[in-house]
Amino acid sequence: MRRFAYCKVVLATSLVWVMLDMFILLYFSECNKCDDKKERGLPGRDDALSRPRDGPGEGGKPVVIPKENQEKMKEMFKINQFNLMASEMIALNRSLPDVRLEGCKNKLYPDNLPRTSVVIVFHNEAWSTLLRTVHSVIDRSPHTLLEEIVLVDDASERDFLKRPLEQYVRRLEVPVRVVRMEQRSGLIRARLKGASLSTGQVITFLDAHCECTTGWLEPLLARIKQDKTVVCPIIDVISDDTFEYMAGSDMTYGGFNWKLNFRWYPVPQREMDRRKGDRTLPVRTPTMAGGLFSIDRDYFQEIGTYDAGMDIWGGENLEISFRIWQCGGTLEIVTCSHVGHVFRKATPYTFPGGTGQIINKNNRRLAEVWMDEFKNFFYIISPGVTKVDYGDITSRSALRQKLQCKPFSWYLENVYPDSQIPRHYYSLGEIRNVETNQCLDNMARKENEKVGIFNCHGMGGNQVFSYTANKEIRTDDLCLDVSKLNGPVMMLKCHHLKGNQLWEYDPVWVILQKLTLIHVNSNQCLDKASEEDSQVPSVRDCSHTRSQQWLLRNVTLPEVF
């Protein structure tokens, strides 16, 4: 009996391999004809829809490429910075698991929900990922709620994205329009174009390598009926290596660090309490990741769409997030809506002038228009950035005036009290040892590593620390943390729970005690470099010596801006 079952498995497995081989053979024989690598990722043979139910990637399972094709796979990976070979093997309408919370599966929604246009911008996208996005929208959305799909081509250079794409989408059962940008315009301007040409009451933006899951759309549209609410689904992870589908968490939400990088952080207790522990209710999120969201068309206009002075992409997601909150709107992650996204480790795109400068420019616009004095956190930790020209922001500042938007301090207080940028703080700048004149330095080390100490350079960057009103010593989103007597001073994610991250500082130099940084839990004092390692500070019993005295100062920014 057992043996029989085993044989069946072996037989089935070898059958799959044979099919795989045939498929790969077919693939390469076709590709041998292409003289340009870029022409790979070909338009689907018609069988791309009718692969077997247990075919590669079905049910969101990972695709494993056999050893003999690994070299080829690596070559192909470079084209889009994801495993194109795996993507090509997966049906354009593959099945996915239902990853929703149980409580989401039988929720009822009103039947007068607004209709949405889905706007997808692409640039040199692979055929399989783009069309899998489109098919997943069509297959998993009630067509009564789907006005159209608008594909905005940001000047792709691949022939299969021209006429073949137009011909392919013509036979789909939902209207799909292909719109072309005349020249490379970047995500922001291409989205604006797509939005302006679309007609649905709601605009839903998706990236070009997504997969929507069962029931993704209704809960989004249901929230939009609320005034001024902008909604994002939970973003699930489609592996860039195997295309495995992995459910994202409803326990993280969007934040940002001092460098104005978008980051996921744990949903705080106060937000769980507000929802009385019901995880199927939408989470109020301080920021959105940017790729996927739905917004009412009129509201999108009213709050000023995107900052058209921003280039390509980067920073626009924080800009629209700050704007929504500060100008009276609400931004939510709808936890009953799941959309998968292929996360890449590197971008396959190049931009004139390089991505770094573009993101710096966009971030400066964001900081100058919306962040008030808190922009200093960004400028001090990334000093080079103040040299970047950010163009003219008068129209965006005027928009902020016109909409009577609230200050950034209000946002920090009310929307994002657990922000990495402290609302109140004693100092933002270097922390200097009185005896050695050296400064705390994060040495560009990461989470769970020791903080360093080094000659002061006065240039901000790695030597910027903030002693906050909550008595944490922070450098960006890491806090100085000591967990044992005489133990090393580590940099851990700030947890806002005091505990091992609580430090007392008294700046007034009156009696012996003063200028010490006392680690409260251990009742020990921060001291100069340890004997074992001259580049890390230590904690020792408080001895009132100069090596345990520290000067905390606000840095002043150079007057270049």
| Residue ranges in contact with ligand NAG by CB under 6 A | 49-50, 91, 93, 95, 425-427, 554
Rounded to an integer, what distance in angstroms lies between the CA atom of residue 131 and that of residue 283? 30
Min dist CB 58 to ligand NAG, Å, is 7
User: What is the side-by-side order of every strand in the sheet holding 517-519?
Assistant: 503-505, 517-519, 524-529, 537-541
Rounded to an integer, what distance in angstroms lies between the CA atom of residue 48 and that of residue 274? 46
For residue 529, give Cα distances in angstroms to 182, 437, 440, 505.
59, 11, 10, 19
Q: Which is nearer to ligand NAG, 203 or 339 (CB)?
A: 339
How far is Cα of residue 77 from the mean position of the Cα atoms in its chain?
Answer: 22
Q: Which is nearer to ligand NAG, 10 or 469 (CB)?
A: 469
Rounded to an integer, what distance in angstroms lies between the CA atom of residue 65 and that of residue 74? 10
Which tokens go with 157? Answer: 């250079």
* Beta carbons within 8 Å of 254's beta carbon, 6+ residues apart: 232, 262, 263, 264, 265, 285, 286, 287, 288, 289, 321, 333
Min dist CB 427 to ligand NAG, Å, is 5
Min dist CB 449 to ligand NAG, Å, is 27
Min dist CB 424 to ligand NAG, Å, is 7
88, β-bridge pairs = none
In terms of C-beta density within 10 A (0-12 exposed, 13-18 middle, 19 or more buried), how is residue 2 classed? Answer: exposed
Q: Which is nearer to ligand NAG, 77 or 426 (CB)?
A: 426
222 in helix, strand or coil? Answer: helix
Q: Which is nearer to ligand NAG, 196 or 554 (CB)?
A: 554
Q: Which residue, among 230, 208, 219, has the nearest Cα to 297 in the 3D structure? A: 230
Min dist CB 60 to ligand NAG, Å, is 11
> Are 471 and 415 contacting, i.e. CB atoms less than 8 angstroms apart?
no
Min dist CB 37 to ligand NAG, Å, is 29
Which tokens go with 97? Answer: 């698991």
Which tokens go with 2? Answer: 């057992």
> Are 40 and 72 contacting, i.e. CB atoms less than 8 angstroms apart?
no
Min dist CB 335 to ligand NAG, Å, is 25
Q: Which is nearer to ligand NAG, 261 or 554 (CB)?
A: 554
Q: Which is nearer to ligand NAG, 195 or 367 (CB)?
A: 367
Q: Which is nearer to ligand NAG, 155 or 551 (CB)?
A: 551
Q: Which is nearer to ligand NAG, 280 or 554 (CB)?
A: 554
Q: Amino acid letter at 474?
A: R
Min dist CB 91 to ligand NAG, Å, is 6
